[in-house]
Structure 1
Amino acid sequence: MPEPQPRTRQALTKERVVHAAVTIIERDGEAALSMRRVATELGVAPMSLYNHVPNKAALLDGVAEFIMTDMRFASDPDADWQQQTRNLARTFRAITRRYPRSVLLVITRQPKSSVGMHAMELVLASVRDAGFDDPTSVRLVRTFVSFILGAMMREVGVTDMVTEDGISAFKAELAEAKLTNVEQLLPILAVHDHEGDFEFGLELLIGAMSALPRH
């Protein structure tokens, strides 16, 4: 019987360090992230990390860059600006659902290299090509980012009232408090159609964009 071969240790790289950081953030939250925790995740000595990232701030920048780079925007040159906007918004939403905790770093930490700005380039090009002036283009991008992040936070923070008994008991409490509109619409409020809500809001924003002046 042949002797078992020793397992070859995978080389430590900046990419592995960043991926481990993303894993920790998604599993335990950004507050749990530290260089020591990343080292434990990778099974290496903490000091070995500093050959690839000089400090925690650089590690967080790496996470933000990873998230931005992982956005796979499919640009369709034949689509009109409304459909391009839909495609870009849906792609960004997909990344927020894949990395709901890490994606906030994209907003709070500006990527420090051009690699992480490819997605921003595509989005800004889309709205400028549609004929919006430069200040309006930037504001539109920020508005859509806020909308998508808000949708993400609502999606991960709510649960459905799954039982009719629970809804009935709550309606009785609302009736006693004379919250008539909430009571009457509770069966609808209690059901969360995240996909439908997102598409509804997206079309509202596109409709509002269509009413803005353009070149």
Structure 2
Amino acid sequence: MGRHKALPYVHRTFRGWHVRRTWVNTGEVSQLNRARIVSAAIDLIEREGADAVSMRRIAADLGVGVMSLYNHVPNKAALLDGVAEAVLSEIEFTDDPSAHWTDRVRAQARSFRQIAHHYPRSTMVVVSRQLQSSSGVIPVEYALSTMLSAGFDGREAVQLLRVFIAYIVGSLLREVGVTPTFAPVRPDVDVAAIDGGLFPVVASLAGELVKCDHDEEFEFGLEMLVQAMIVRRGARASTSEPPESGVIPSPGLS
């Protein structure tokens, strides 16, 4: 019986799009194609990291000759672009232009984080590529449209997009243990052993430092960013708009 493998099949529309990973029997898909090659690259990246990717290694994993890959993928750079496109194409969100812009920002950030959770190492490939395909441009289109509709100018919209990407990727790196942390996922760090005489503040907050709820911390940071956007927008807005429900108006907030 053939081995089963999840291969991505895309269905997308401009204002509402999604991707389903459909289980197919690879024993029945004997012909090599771009989707199989990209899927093999994603699997390899998640196991060993992007540095492990080479055309020769992918060919070996698929059990085919390396030259046969070039009929579908011209080079490694194109393969990594394909990885980024495949990962982005699995983002599932439908933008609602009638929703408050702050809710749209939150939803988009959570959607990107969700797919980053599924493919943490491949997400690093995503943020390192300059994509021009639909799957690469659509999330950017959504995000920038939201920023512009909120009243930010083009430069601010791009800067805000980059801030959110940096925050989400940084959060992901911490969650998967790439960055240093005092959280329990680092058993080699003994906060209780820190000299309270030299570091009184750290010692006094040791109980908090060993707590780690990634979801809660992500939401805390996300809300900080959204509130900062509200304040910045209010400081330059030329028209009045009632504040979002639950938001305490800041000086200059319209």
**TM-score for both structures, normalised by structure 1:** 0.88
Identical columns (%): 44
Bigger mean CA deviation after superposition, 135-144 or 109-118? 109-118
Aligned equivalent of 1:34:
54
For residues 174 and 102 of structure 2, the distance between their equivalents in structure 1, rounded to whole angstroms, comes to: 25
1:125 aligns with 2:148: no
1:174 aligns with 2:192: no
For the 8 Å contact 2:183–2:209, the answer to whether it is kept is no
Residue 201 (structure 1) aligned to one of 208, 218, 221: 221
The residue type equivalent to 1:41 in the other structure is: D
Cα deviation for residue 65 of structure 1 reads: 1.4
1:159–1:98 CA distance, 2 compared to 1 (3 A): farther
1:175–1:203 CA distance, 2 compared to 1 (3 A): same
1:11 aligns with 2:34: no
Q: Which has the higher strand share?
A: 2
Q: Which has the higher helix share?
A: 1
Residue 109 (structure 1) aligned to one of 123, 129, 132: 129
For the 8 Å contact 1:53–1:59, the answer to whether it is kept is yes
The 5 Å alignment of 1:139-154 reads 139-154=159-174
Deviations 1:73-115 (A, max 9, x none): 2212331001001100000111111111111122211113233
1:47–1:166 CA distance, 2 compared to 1 (3 A): closer
Q: Which runs of 4+ in 1 moved over 4 A?
A: none
Name structure 1 gaps, 5 residues minimum: 1-6
Bigger mean CA deviation after superposition, 87-96 or 7-16? 7-16
Give the match's secondary structure for 1:72.
Answer: coil
Cα deviation for residue 9 of structure 1 reads: 5.2
Aligned equivalent of 2:22:
none
The residue type equivalent to 2:229 in the other structure is: M
The residue type equivalent to 1:161 in the other structure is: P
Aligned equivalent of 1:161:
184
Aligned equivalent of 1:211:
231
1:170–1:90 CA distance, 2 compared to 1 (3 A): closer
For residues 227 and 67 of structure 2, the distance between their equivalents in structure 1, rounded to whole angstroms, comes to: 53
The 5 Å alignment of 1:40-59 reads 40-59=60-79
1:185 aligns with 2:205: yes
Higher relative contact order (CA 8 A, sep 6+): 1
Aligned equivalent of 2:3:
none
Deviations 1:107-142 (A, max 9, x none): 211113233211111111111111111100001100
For residues 120 and 193 of structure 2, the distance between their equivalents in structure 1, rounded to whole angstroms, comes to: 36
The residue type equivalent to 2:195 in the other structure is: L
For residues 14 and 149 of structure 1, the distance between their equivalents in structure 2, rounded to whole angstroms, comes to: 27
For residues 112 and 78 of structure 1, the distance between their equivalents in structure 2, rounded to whole angstroms, comes to: 28
RMSD, aligned CA:
2.2
